[in-house]
Amino acid sequence: MTATVVLLAAVLSLAGCAVQQKIWFKPGVTDEQTQRDYDECLQRAEAAVKASSSPGSGALGSYGASGGAVAATEAPELRSCMEGKGYRLVDHGGGRPPSPRSY
């Protein structure tokens, strides 16, 4: 029984390592500039989320009741804005830890 628990724990910990985190990448751009661009796009996405779920719209909007920053990070407006600035979403290949611009 103990061996099964240990084996299960090992498998689960390895499975967690297999998940690739995505980051926004644009060649020749510093982390600081990427963060500024991401923050600007996130603000736009948050405004879109808020507008789509505002009272009087007759619905909760496409992002549901949670709204706010969590939904904004998944909003198509964020992706569209970043891609419009020339960024693309790529797998984080390790090395240095991912920055807050991670997706």
Assess contact for 22 and 92: CB atoms under 8 A: yes
Indicate the domain borders of the chain. Answer: 20-91
19-78 pLDDT, tens per residue?
678 999 999 999 999 999 999 999 999 998 888 776 654 444 444 444 455 578 888 999
Assess contact for 75 and 63: CB atoms under 8 A: yes
Q: pTM (2 decimals)?
A: 0.61
What is the spatial distance between Cα 18 and Cα 94, in angstroms, rounded to a whole number? 11
